[in-house]
Amino acid sequence: MCCDFWTALITPLVDLVEYLWSFMLKHGSYICNLQENLSSLQGGITQLRRIKEEVDGRVQIAVARQMPCRSVVQGWRDGVQEADKRVTSVVEQGRKELHDRCSSCCPKLNCCRSYKLGKEVVELIAEVQTLTNKANAPEFQDVADTNRTIAVQGIPVDPTTEVRVAVEPNLVQALQKPSGQGNAHEEETDESNLAEALRKIEDERINVIGIYGMGGVGKTFLLNSINNHFCGGSGEWKVIHVVVSKELNLGNIQRQIGQRVGFDWEVGDNPVWEMRRNIIFNMLSTMKFLLLLDDCWERVDLQAIGIPSPVQCHNGGKTVFTTRWMRVCGDMGAQDTTIQVRCFDKDGDEAWQLFQRVVGRTTLASDPRIPELARNVARECCGLPLALVTIGKTMSIKRTHQQWDNCLTVLTNSGTGTLDPDITKDMELRIFAKLKFSYDDLNESHKPCFLYCALYPEDFYIQKDQLIRHWIGQGFLDGFESMDQAYNRGYGVIETLKAANLLESVLGSDIHVKMHDTIRDLAIWIGRECGNRENKVLVRSGADLFEAPLTNEICNEVERMSLMRTRIVSLRDPPAACTKLSTLLLKESHQLSTISDHFFQFMPALKVLNLSSTGIRGLPASISHLVALEFMDLSYTRIRQLPGELRNLMRLKYLDLSYTDLTMIPQEVISHLSDLRMLDLHGSDYENWRVEEPGQVNIVQAVGTAGTANGVRLSELQQLTHLIALGLTVSSPAVLQYLLANDNLRVSIMNLVIKTCSSVVSINVAPLAAAAINSFDLRGVKNLQFLDIRGCNSLRDLTVTWTPTGFKHFETLQLYRLTAFTTLSIQREPQSITPTLQFVEIIGCNALEDLTCFMFLPYLERIVIQSCTRLRRIINNVAVDRDTLLSGLKKLELHALDMLEDIYEHALPFPHLETITVHGCPLLLKLPLNHVSAKDTLQIVRGEVEWWERVKIVDEETKAYFQQFFNRRIIR
């Protein structure tokens, strides 16, 4: 009896001790076995890289045979690439951790950080092993979809910006016909330009076709029409559409060709460039290809790119290109096979019809004298479609005859006569003089904004928010009290420029604008004082440059310099002082890694410096000489430490350090930048904020994992009295409590990343300040725009509440690797605005089962859900107005959702839906679509062929309709 008593007492204690011991061994090993685990991780990733190289080779062979990579294989390749990046980062952190330790298993800094790092290493070992095992799975025996070929990519044409289709539909055929007599080398024919191009393409004797004509006449429209003629066809031709642009870059052309046939290449160095040449040659040699090159300014060496000659191409290959110059046609071997796209007859009906359409009936009828004046204004546009549209849009709001009379006088005095495309310089100057009328008609405050747009590369999609920030940095948009006001004013300027046809919309994107290349040339010409000061504005963006083109003459005169997207590796000391330089843009020059010590020493007028998305790791001490600098963008760089000399930039207003490798900021640097209005560190590695203990100003506690004992005191942020926009990465409740306790800092928070906070269980986000329920409640952050929560493994629920006074621009929510997360709740108080979220991305939230809260997000434009293993349904079957449910959605992306069975029970209208992407969702066999869903908006449905064959959409007739969009790719 006594023995049984002691047995019953001791056995649970022994079990408890064994459990605690095993728990300590497991979790203690994260710290003690870090070096061994790092070695194992490195060995695993090395093996995985070799496997990926072998799979990539098989994929290249398949693509060469026009068979696209299977989506499950592509998903694996993407997963390996992402894992490789994370392993590289973690290994670097691990080496530093081991270096800082006093002994083999005793961290010198803090156990918490060492534990988190060790745990992440173990998790990555498991992830790498999983990816390795997948590569040995049966589905990897065939890397390509053998039952289909890569489709021709259609190019949507926007009728509001494509000048040759801006007239009445019954005139489109007439507009495609050449007007006037052809040159001696051309056949005299009445057939349309498109029909003539197609005839030449089918002619076996012709290999190269040149389409030429002045800027703005409609060459790109004709090339796009050729592309779209083959879209949806039998697939006999492999059509490859490439934009060349003024700054010839053969590596960029190779990259675009690769994208069109299934590769994701970046512009690299010469050995990589040569390898791509061989791959392209081997692929195209076996194809019947049609290469479309848009906007060639000089001869393009096709053989250097990898394009096989007619003799080497076994199935036949053609090249069609557009250019402004007849001489380029000759240089490309197309002197006898050209198509000239001409201006309209300036006195003909085609030009007048186009002009009437753009101006509008209301304006033309507002005064009986206007129609005759309008007819004369149209004649002064010399039949050039771009001029007719641009000047027409400018005059569309002018409703007095005096305004029209003034316009006619200005245009008449700017030059007359028929434009001769062979007299290139005279043609350019005269058309610029005509188009300048639309520039002169702008508000004075809008003119510098327009000229600034020309600093971006040709054919570049300009991000609106970034453009507005640059305008702010230049001082073009002043007198605002909040970033909301500044952005609203900037958006207003953009819409004004679009209304004047000086900027264009980008089809499929609400966040970008672009410039017609002729309008861009106009802006550069005006910026150079109508060509009188060539060196005032230096624009070599997109050029294949290896060093900055600085001479004594340029240094003495240049005021704005754009070297974006070049191949510059190092910035050397300029040969002379750049005393007038106010803007220097080097964005996306990825190979730029070093800046000489004295580069910035003699640039006293520099106000805007953009080094974002370059490879720089630090700034030279000469940065201290930029005493006039107001805007500096270092985002997406590898910079790890800010120099102490930065404290001298007393006029700096905007400092962007988001998504950098930054781990070190010297004390008293931030507080010295007393004029800062925006400071953005969200997504960076900097977390080493120091929180002052209450009542003990001189005693501080370090918070974060930056690896330096000298963190920045949060009180330095408090000294920034002009701050209106703040972005941070936070990993401690103490830091967040400090920020929320300060009114100025709290309302300044715009972009926030919360990461690796294991203690947080619940988060409430609301624009009104109130007593916090827990330490991670985000209350009073009324100007929040971006929230990213990641690696918080205890977080179970997130509640976001809209009130009448805040969250007007809260647009992005991202949730990553929240293993315990079960509930996302969207709430709205009475009289509050409609929830504004536009982009939600949820990855690795394995406890999540549904996202019914999406029913409260009518403005949601993009949804990305990936690797949520328990998610069964996106929106549960609830009573709701189906016409408004996800009514703003444009892009839906679902990846690796093993248990997902349904998106929504009933079909939805989806009036704006453009793309559906489904990969790795084997149980999702029904889509909420019917015959009215995504009417006239859907462009592509991506997914595995096996999945698509099993999926159900109402009935077979409706599915047959959506079949045309399956895996069809669109060029914009």
Question: DSSP of 561-629, one letter per residue?
Answer: EE-TT----EEPPPSS--TT--EEE-TT-TT--EE-TTTTTT-TT--EEE-TTS------GGGGG-TT-
The residue type at 310: P
pLDDT at 868 over 90: yes
Q: Where are the beta strands (DSSP E) in 767-926?
A: 778-779, 786-790, 797-802, 812-816, 823-828, 839-843, 862-866, 891-895, 915-919
Give SS3 for 633.
strand
Examine the domain organization and report whether 494 and 552 are in the same domain: no
Examine the domain organization and report whether 22 and 122 are in the same domain: yes
Give Cβ neighbours of residue 128 (< 8 Å, ≥ 6 apart).
41, 44, 45, 48, 83, 87
How many Å apart are CA 810 and CA 787, to the nearest integer? 8
pLDDT at 184 over 50: no
- Highest-confidence range of 26-40, 502-516, 759-773, by mean pLDDT? 502-516
Region 30-46: mean pLDDT is 77
Q: What is the 3-state secondary structure (H, E, C) of 638-705?
A: CCCECCHHHHHCCCCCEEECCCCCCCECCCCHHHHCCCCCEEECCCCCCCCEEEEECCEEEEEEECCC
Tokens 């044409």 map to which residue? 157
Examine the domain organization and report whether 205 and 58 are in the same domain: no
Examine the domain organization and report whether 418 and 489 are in the same domain: yes
Going by pLDDT thresholds of 50, 70 and 90, the confidence category of residue 107 is very low
| Mean predicted lDDT score pLDDT of the chain | 80
How many Å apart are CA 95 and CA 121, to the nearest integer? 12
Percent of the chain with pLDDT over 90: 27
Residue 219 inside a domain? The answer is yes
Region 550-554: mean pLDDT is 91
Query: What is the helix (H) or strand (E) element at residue 725, kind and residue range?
Result: strand 725-730
The residue type at 624: S
DSSP symbol at 764? E
- What per-residue confidence (pLDDT) applies to 805? 75
Over residues 629-674, the pLDDT tens digits come to 999 999 999 999 999 999 999 999 999 999 999 999 998 899 999 9
Quick one: CA torsion of 707, 708, 714, 716, rounded to 10 degrees? -140
Residue 372 inside a domain? The answer is yes
Query: What is the helix (H) or strand (E) element at residue 291, kind and residue range?
Result: strand 289-296
Examine the domain organization and report whether 182 and 330 are in the same domain: yes
Region 132-147: mean pLDDT is 67
Residue 91: CA atoms inside 13 Å, Cβ hemisphere, count? 17
Question: Quick check: 687 and 731 in contact, CB under 8 A?
Answer: yes
Residue 918: beta bridge partners?
Answer: 894, 943
Q: Which residue has the higher pLDDT, 585 or 189?
A: 585
Lowest mean pLDDT among 613-617, 655-659, 929-933: 929-933
Q: Where are the beta strands (DSSP E) in 106-255?
A: 208-212, 238-245
Q: The domain containing residue 288 runs over which residues?
A: 163-340
Quick one: CA torsion of 491, 493, 498, 503, rounded to 10 degrees? -100
Indicate the residue among 599, 626, 653 that finishes a domain: 626
Going by pLDDT thresholds of 50, 70 and 90, the confidence category of residue 881 is confident
Question: Quick check: 798 and 777 in contact, CB under 8 A?
Answer: no
Query: What is the helix (H) or strand (E) element at residue 74, kind and residue range?
Result: helix 71-100
Instruction: Measure CA of the first residue to CA of the last residue in the chain; give whole Å.
Output: 85
Domain of residue 603, CATH code: 3.80.10.10
Residue 535 inside a domain? The answer is no
Tokens 């709205």 map to which residue? 828
Closest CA to 587 of 617, 616, 570, 565: 565
How many Å apart are CA 408 and CA 736, to the nearest integer? 62
- What per-residue confidence (pLDDT) applies to 92? 75
Residue 737 inside a domain? The answer is no
Examine the domain organization and report whether 515 and 562 are in the same domain: no
pLDDT at 77 over 50: yes
- What per-residue confidence (pLDDT) applies to 15? 57
- 597 by Cβ neighbours in 10 Å (0-12 / 13-18 / 19+) ranks as exposed
Region 558-562: mean pLDDT is 93
Residue 364 inside a domain? The answer is yes
Examine the domain organization and report whether 300 and 214 are in the same domain: yes
Over residues 400-458, the pLDDT tens digits come to 888 898 888 877 776 544 444 444 555 667 778 888 888 888 889 999 999 999 999 88
- C-alpha distances out from residue 766 to 322, 776, 855, Å: 54, 12, 19
- What per-residue confidence (pLDDT) applies to 633? 95
Examine the domain organization and report whether 127 and 56 are in the same domain: yes
- Highest-confidence range of 157-161, 254-258, 613-617, 685-689, by mean pLDDT? 613-617
CA 91 to chain centroid:
29
Going by pLDDT thresholds of 50, 70 and 90, the confidence category of residue 62 is low
Residue 450 inside a domain? The answer is yes
How many Å apart are CA 550 and CA 584, to the nearest integer? 13
- What per-residue confidence (pLDDT) applies to 696? 43
Going by pLDDT thresholds of 50, 70 and 90, the confidence category of residue 734 is confident
pLDDT at 98 over 50: yes
Residue 726 inside a domain? The answer is no
Over residues 838-851, the pLDDT tens digits come to 999 999 999 998 89
Query: What is the helix (H) or strand (E) element at residue 762, kind and residue range?
Result: strand 762-766
How many Å apart are CA 859 and CA 862, to the nearest integer? 9
pLDDT at 189 over 80: no
Examine the domain organization and report whether 245 and 324 are in the same domain: yes
Backbone angles phi, psi at 147, to 5 degrees: -95, 0
Indicate the residue among 565, 599, 626 that finishes a domain: 626
- What per-residue confidence (pLDDT) applies to 81? 79
- What per-residue confidence (pLDDT) applies to 564? 92
- Highest-confidence range of 124-138, 175-189, 601-615, 700-714, by mean pLDDT? 601-615
Closest CA to 838 of 803, 786, 776: 786
Region 527-532: mean pLDDT is 85
Examine the domain organization and report whether 505 and 365 are in the same domain: yes
DSSP symbol at 882? T
Give SS3 for 288.
coil
Give Cβ neighbours of residue 211 (< 8 Å, ≥ 6 apart).
193, 197, 219, 222, 223, 320, 321, 322, 323, 338, 339, 340, 341
pLDDT at 230 over 90: no
Over residues 304-363, the pLDDT tens digits come to 888 888 767 666 788 899 988 888 888 888 888 888 888 888 788 888 888 888 888 888
Q: Which residue has the higher pLDDT, 623 or 971?
A: 623
Examine the domain organization and report whether 488 and 570 are in the same domain: no
Going by pLDDT thresholds of 50, 70 and 90, the confidence category of residue 968 is very low
Residue 292: beta bridge partners?
Answer: 241, 320
- What per-residue confidence (pLDDT) applies to 144? 63
H helices of 365-482, in order, are: 370-380, 385-395, 401-413, 424-440, 447-453, 464-474
Q: What is the 3-state secondary structure (H, E, C) of 490-506?
A: HHHHHHHHHHCCCCEEE
- What per-residue confidence (pLDDT) applies to 677? 92
Examine the domain organization and report whether 465 and 544 are in the same domain: no
Over residues 10-31, the pLDDT tens digits come to 666 655 555 555 555 455 566 6
- C-alpha distances out from residue 899 to 71, 213, 842, 866, Å: 18, 57, 15, 12
Residue 775: CA atoms inside 13 Å, Cβ hemisphere, count? 15
- What per-residue confidence (pLDDT) applies to 54? 73
Question: Quick check: 106 and 19 in contact, CB under 8 A?
Answer: no
Region 363-375: mean pLDDT is 87
- 881 by Cβ neighbours in 10 Å (0-12 / 13-18 / 19+) ranks as exposed
Question: What's the longest Cα–Cα distance across the chain?
Answer: 119
Indicate the residue among 527, 553, 570 that finishes a domain: 527
What value does the CA radius of gyration of the chain take, rounded to a whole number of Å? 31
Going by pLDDT thresholds of 50, 70 and 90, the confidence category of residue 165 is very low
Residue 435 inside a domain? The answer is yes
Question: Quick check: 808 and 484 in contact, CB under 8 A?
Answer: yes
Going by pLDDT thresholds of 50, 70 and 90, the confidence category of residue 774 is low
Pairing of strands 689-693, 696-702: antiparallel
Length, in residues, of the chain: 972
How many Å apart are CA 913 and CA 935, to the nearest integer? 9
Own/partner contacts of 702-711, CB < 8 Å, gap of 24 or more, are 703/731, 703/732, 703/734, 703/735, 704/731, 704/732, 704/735, 705/113, 705/116, 705/731, 706/663, 706/664, 707/96, 707/100, 707/109, 707/663, 708/663, 708/664, 710/664, 710/666, 710/667
Question: Quick check: 817 and 838 in contact, CB under 8 A?
Answer: no
How many other β-carbons are positioned within 10 Å of the β-carbon of residue 65?
Answer: 13
Region 943-956: mean pLDDT is 84
How many Å apart are CA 953 and CA 962, to the nearest integer? 9
Going by pLDDT thresholds of 50, 70 and 90, the confidence category of residue 517 is confident
pLDDT at 706 over 50: no
How many Å apart are CA 407 and CA 402, to the nearest integer? 9
Over residues 572-601, the pLDDT tens digits come to 999 999 999 999 999 999 999 999 999 999
Over residues 119-129, the pLDDT tens digits come to 888 888 888 88
Residue 689: beta bridge partners?
Answer: 712
**Pair of tokens at residue 16:** 């408890």
pLDDT at 852 over 60: yes
- C-alpha distances out from residue 14 to 1, 406, 756, Å: 20, 98, 34
Backbone angles phi, psi at 685, to 5 degrees: -85, 0
* Model-wide pTM > 0.85: no
Going by pLDDT thresholds of 50, 70 and 90, the confidence category of residue 967 is low
pLDDT at 613 over 90: yes
Q: Which residue has the higher pLDDT, 407 or 553?
A: 553
Query: How many domains does the chain fold into?
Result: 4
Lowest mean pLDDT among 29-33, 90-94, 575-579, 622-626: 29-33
Query: What is the helix (H) or strand (E) element at residue 322, kind and residue range?
Result: strand 317-323
Question: Quick check: 331 and 304 in contact, CB under 8 A?
Answer: no
